Amino acid sequence: MAKGEAYKQLGEYLKRRNKERIILTFEQIEGIIGRILPQSAYKHPEPWWSNNYEHSQAIAWMDAGYETDFVTDTYALHKIIFCKITI
């Protein structure tokens, strides 16, 4: 499996929505990708949800033109905010 392939459906979902800001719960993300998020997404949210292209999950949202934002404020509620990257 190519790097980022496991989260490809999330990237496709974000592209289809094409909104400036998209808020998804962890449960919604699991439904989109068709599997449970790894424990590290829950236990180590800051690095796991970071916009680091070295992380396979970040490739999905970054290639779709989004970055995560306010992870520190939202992960406790099991929500992630994806914001469209403006150049």
State the maximum Cα–Cα separation within the chain, in Å, rounded to a whole number.
33
CA torsion 56-86-69-21 (nearest 10°) is -100
Whole-angstrom Cα Rg for the chain = 12
pLDDT, one tens digit per residue, over 20-30 is: 999 999 999 99
pLDDT at 11: 96
State yes or no: pLDDT of 2 exceeds 70. Answer: no
- What pTM, to 2 d.p., does this model score? 0.90
Contact 69, 15 (CB under 8 A): no
Task: For 69, list phi and psi in degrees, rounded to 5.
Answer: -145, 150
pLDDT at 4: 65
* Mean model confidence pLDDT for the chain: 91
Mean pLDDT calculated for residue range 8-35? 96
Q: Which sequence spans correspond to the domains of the chain?
A: 5-79
